Chains A and B, each alone.
Chain A
Amino acid sequence: MSQLHAALRAIVGPEACLTRAEELYVYEADGLTVHSARPSAVVLPADTDQVARVVRACRAHGVPFVPRGAGTGLSGGAVAADDGVIIECSRMDRVLQISGDDRLAVVQPGVVNADLSKAVAHTGLFYAPDPSSQLACTLGGNVAENSGGPHTLKYGTTTNHVLALEMVLPDGEVVRLGSRSGHAPGFDLVGAVVGGEGTLGIVTEITVRLVPVPESVETLLGIFPDVVSACRAVGAITKSGLVPAALEIVDRRTIEAVEASVYAAGLPTDAGAVLIVELDGPEAGVARQVERVREFALSHGARVEVARDEAERQRFWRARKGAFGAMGRLAPDLYVHDAVVPRAKLPEILERVCEIGDRYRLRLCNVFHAGDGNLHPNICFDRRDADELARVVAAGEEILRTCVEAGGVISGEHGIGTEKREYMPLLFGEADLDAMARLRESFDPERVCNPGKVFPSTRFCVESNPKARGYDRVPL
C-alpha cells in the first residue's frame, strides 16, 4: 500500500493525497451512516489527466477505486469497499462553459448542483433536476445516481438532462460519450453511465441541458387532516391531466421537525399532512391551473394556502428540502428509505408503511414525491442501539417487499449502492442481473471501479477477488 501511496502522491501532490488515519476515518460513510468502510487513501485530483493517472496507478496495484462528490448520497455508493481508494472530485469544481444559445453548460463533476443554476441565472435558464441536497451535492454524484428531486415530475431526472460526458474508463482511457446536440448515433452510452453508480468509470466532465426559467410559478399548500386524503387528492390531480411541476407530501411528524429548525416556513403543525403543489408555465395557464388544483384539494377535505410571494415560495421549498436533516432533531441517525409504487396504490401503501413502522416500534416520518409515487419513509434511530438498528433494517426490508408486491421498485433516486444490493433479487431475475453484469463487465472487466455496489454479494462471491474469474464469462 505504501508503494501505491507514493505513486498517488506523485500524481496529485502530497497535499492532495490523504493517508493519515483520522483523515480517512471521516470518509468511512456518506449520507447513509448505516454502512461504513474506511478507504486506504483519498486523492483529490485537479483535472482529468490526474484522474486517469490515479486510475492507472490503482489498477497497477490491484486496488479498487471509488469516485465521490460531496458524500451526500443515501445508499452508500461513495463508500470504499475492499480498502479502496476514494477519488474525491470536490476540487474539480469549475463551470467550464455556459451557452445560452445552445441552452447548455459544460461543468466539472465537483460543481455543486445549486451553484450551476446560480452561475447560469443571467441567461434566463436553469438546471432542472433539484435533489433535496442540491445546496451541497455535486453534479458528478447526480450523474452517478441519476438523481431526481421534487421537480422530476415535470422535468425528468438527471438522465433527461445530460447531453454528453467525458469519462475515465476503469483502464485509464479517457473517452467522450454523447454529443452537445443531444443526438448521438449508435447505442445510448450516456444513458448507461448516468445511474451507473460510478461502477462504469469516473465522469470528469458533464455537458448538461439547461431549460428556460418559467414565466410564472405558483406554489400552493393543501393542508389535509391526514396523509391518505392528501394521497387521494394527488391521484385526482394527476388523473385530470394536469402536470404540476411538483407534487410533494409532508406528514405531521416531518412538519414538526422542520418547523423546529432553521428551515421553518410556517407550515401548519396541526395538519395531518401538507401537499405542496407547484405549477409553472405561461402566466395565463398557471392561474387557471391554480384554481383547478384548489378545487381538487378542497373536495378532498383540505384547506388551501397559496405562497404570497417569491420569498414565501422559497421558504416552503427550503422547508421541504431541509426535511431530511431536520429529522436529526428527533434522533442521532436517520435512515432515508426510497421506493416507488404506482401512484394509485399510494394511499394503501402509506397505511401499510406506517403500520410496519409501528409494529417495529420505530419513529417513522413520511416526506415524499407523491406525484411520481416515490416514497421516502424516514426512520429516526440511534445506530449505537444494536436492537433498534436491527429493527430499522428489518422494517426497511419489509417496506421494500411491500412496495415491490404492489408493483413498485426498490429505488426511485437514491440508487442501490451497498444499501440495497441484497434486495436486487426482489425485483430482478437471474437473466436481468446477468444482462446488467455483462454491461458492467464491458466497461470494467476486472471490477476495480466501485466494487461491492449494486449487485447482490451472494451472486458474485468472486467479486472480492475479481482476478480469480479471469476475463471469460462464466455462467452465473
Chain B
Amino acid sequence: MSETPAVTPELAALHPGTLDCVHCGMCLSSCPTYRETGRESSSPRGRIYLMRGVAEGAIPLGDVTAEELHLCLGCRACETACPSGVAYGELLERGRAAVADAGLRNGLVGRLERFALRHVVPHRGRLRALVDLTAIAQRLGLTRFIPPARLLPRVPARSTRARLPREFAAQGERRGRVALFEGCIMAELFADVNRATARVLARNGFAVVVPPAQGCCGALQAHAGDPKTAKRLEAHNAAVFEGGDFAAIVSNSAGCGAHQRPHDARVRDVCELLDEAGLRVPTGRLPLRVCYDDPCHLLHGQGVGDAPRRLLRAIDGVELVDHADPGSCCGAAGTYNVVQPEMSRAVLARKLDALAAADPDVIVTGNPGCLMQLRAGARERGLRAEVLHPVELLDRAYGA
C-alpha cells in the first residue's frame, strides 16, 4: 500500500457522499451484517470509510471493499439510524458500480446475476417463459434439487398471470384515478397480489389504470451495480407514465417504490395511499393473530411504517401483535438471498426466531422478495403462519 492508487473519475464521484459521515457509529447496531459478523468492515460506517478511502486514494479498490459492498443487504436501516443524513443507499449503488467497472464482480455469480438482470428480468416474454418452466419444474417436483428455486412461491396459474385489464372502475363514490405499477416479478410470481391490489383500490373508490407498455423499474439492476441498464429502464417507464391522467402511481412492491420515488413524485405505496385517503373499513371479519413485518424499502427507503399497521388494525377481528425488531431485514434483499445464501440464511434465522416467538396466524409484508423469503423460511421452520401481502388480507376482508 506504499503507492497511491489511481483514482478514476467514477471513484472520485463516490467522495462527496461519504463526507456526510462523521464516524459516530450510531448505525452499527441497525446493520444486520454487522450484527452477524461483528466486523467494522461489514458495518455501514466501515463500508463508508472504505469507499472514502478508495475515493481519496488512501487504499486501492480491492477484494475487501468489493466483498463488503456485496455483503451489504442494501436494507438501508442505517439511513433510519443516521443522524447525519448519509444517503447510504445511493452510495452503495455507486460503490457497486465502481466495483463492477473495476472488473471485481466477474465471478460466475456476478456474471449470472448481471445476465439475468439485463437480459431476462426486464423482458416480459423471457421472464414469462422462465416462470412457465418453473411452474413445470414445480409440478414435477424438480425445484427441490435447485436451492435458489426452493425460494420461489408456487407459480400462479397462467390465467392469473395474464395481462391485467387496462382499467378497473371505481366502486362507490369516486375518489380519484390512479395508475397501477405492475412490476416484473410481481406481475408473474405475485400476479394474484396485483389483482388484489387493483380490486382493493377499486373498492376504495379509485379508478385504476394499468398502462400496458410499462416494464421493470430498474431497482434490482441499480442495486447490483449496473446503473446503465437501470437508467434505460427508468427512461422507458418515465415515457410510459409521463403526463398520464392519474393522481398517483401506485406500487405494491416496496423495492420498486423506493427506487421510483426519487424519479417521480407521484409514486405512492398502496398502503400509504389507502391510509391517506382513509380506508373504507371492510365489513368482513377475520379473527386472526397478525404480525406485520416491515419491508426495509418501505420503512427505511420510503419512511412508511404506520400506514400498513393502521390498515390491518381496521380489519375487524385482526389482532396485530408485535414481534422483536420488525424493522430489520429478513435477508431477502432483492437478489441477495440467491447470491449471498449464507448471510441471507443467518439474517433470516433471527427474523424467524422473532416470528416464531410471536406465533401469529398470518405474517404480513409488502414486498415480493420478503414474501418469498418469509414463505420459504416459515415453511422450512415449520411455522403455521401464512405469509401474505397487506392487500391480500384487505381483499379477503372485503370478500369475507
Residues of chain A at the chain B interface (Cβ within 8 Å): 18, 20-23, 25-27, 29-31, 33, 42, 44, 70-72, 88, 90-91, 93, 110, 112, 114-115, 133, 135-137, 258, 260-263, 322-329, 332-334, 382
Contact = CB atoms under 8 A, between A and B. Distances in A.
B258 interface: no
A272 to B, nearest CB: 22
Nearest to B324: A118
Nearest to B18: A332
A26 B23 contact: no
Chain B interface category by residue count = 35 or more
Contact of A115 (B27, B29, B58, B80): B29
A334 B22 contact: yes
Nearest to A333: B22
B64 A329 contact: no
Contacts of A323: 83
B50 A27 contact: no
B25 A25 contact: no
Nearest to B325: A118
Contacts of A326: 83-85
Interface stretch (B38-46, B220-228, B347-355): B38-46
B25 A72 contact: yes
Contacts of A29: 23
Given A22-B50, A262-B83, A263-B83, A72 B64 contact: no
Contacts of A332: 19-20, 22
B59 interface: yes
A324 B39 contact: no
A107 B136 CA distance: 53
Q: Is the interface of B mostly helix, strand, loop or mixed?
A: loop
Contacts of B83: 258, 261-263, 322-326, 328
Given A25-B59, A262-B83, 16 more contacts: A18-B39, A22-B59, A25-B49, A70-B25, A70-B29, A72-B24, A90-B34, A110-B38, A260-B85, A322-B26, A323-B83, A325-B22, A327-B22, A328-B20, A328-B22, A332-B19
21 contacts: A20-B64, A22-B64, A22-B65, A23-B41, A25-B49, A26-B40, A26-B41, A30-B23, A44-B38, A71-B28, A90-B39, A110-B38, A115-B29, A136-B25, A262-B80, A325-B22, A325-B26, A326-B84, A326-B85, A328-B83, A332-B22
The 3 closest A-B pairs by CB, nearest first: A328-B84, A325-B83, A90-B38
A470 B39 CA distance: 36
A88 B43 CA distance: 14
Q: Is the interface of A mostly helix, strand, loop or mixed?
A: loop
Contacts of A70: 25, 28-29
Contact of B24 (A20, A90, A324): A324
B27 A136 contact: yes
B400 interface: no
A44 B24 contact: no
A260 B20 CA distance: 13
Which of A31, A115, A325, A332 has most B Cβ within 10 Å? A325
B307 interface: no
Interface in B83-97: 83-86
A21 B1 contact: yes
A442 B59 CA distance: 41
A23 B66 CA distance: 12
Which of A115, A136, A333 has most B Cβ within 10 Å? A136
A18 to B, nearest CB: 7
B21 interface: yes
A378 to B, nearest CB: 10
A190 to B, nearest CB: 26
Given A22-B64, A25-B50, A88-B38, A31 B84 contact: no
Which of B30, B63, B82 has most A Cβ within 10 Å? B82
A385 B312 CA distance: 53
B165 interface: no
Contacts of A33: 22-23
Contacts of B244: none
A136 B62 CA distance: 28
Which of B63, B79, B82, B83 has most A Cβ within 10 Å? B83
B50 to A, nearest CB: 6
B156 interface: no
A256 B10 CA distance: 33
Contacts of B39: 18, 23, 44, 88, 90
Nearest to A334: B22
B303 to A, nearest CB: 9
Given A27-B40, A72-B24, A110-B38, A325 B82 contact: yes
Contacts of B29: 70, 112, 114-115, 135-136
B120 interface: no
Contacts of B28: 70-72, 136
Contacts of B41: 18, 22-23, 26
A356 to B, nearest CB: 21
Contacts of A90: 34, 38-39
Nearest to A38: B1
B153 interface: no
A186 B301 CA distance: 56
B20 A22 contact: no
A323 B83 CA distance: 7
Contacts of B80: 262
Contacts of A26: 40-41, 45-46, 49-50
A260 B127 CA distance: 43
A436 to B, nearest CB: 29
A71 B40 contact: yes
A353 B63 CA distance: 46
A135 B81 contact: yes
Contact of B62 (A22, A42, A93): A22
B341 interface: no
Contacts of A18: 39, 41
A3 to B, nearest CB: 22
B58 A25 contact: yes
Contacts of A328: 20-22, 24, 83-86
A91 B38 contact: yes
B281 to A, nearest CB: 25
A258 B26 CA distance: 14
B53 interface: yes
Nearest to A46: B38
Contacts of B45: 26
Interface string B44-81: 01100110010000110011110000000000000111
A361 to B, nearest CB: 20
B40 to A, nearest CB: 5
B59 A325 contact: no
Contacts of B27: 136
A25 B47 CA distance: 11
Contacts of B65: 22
A318 B142 CA distance: 51
Nearest to A68: B40
Contacts of A22: 41, 50, 53, 59, 62, 64-65
Interface string B91-122: 00000000000000000000000000000000
Nearest to A332: B19
A428 to B, nearest CB: 30
Contacts of B59: 21-22, 25
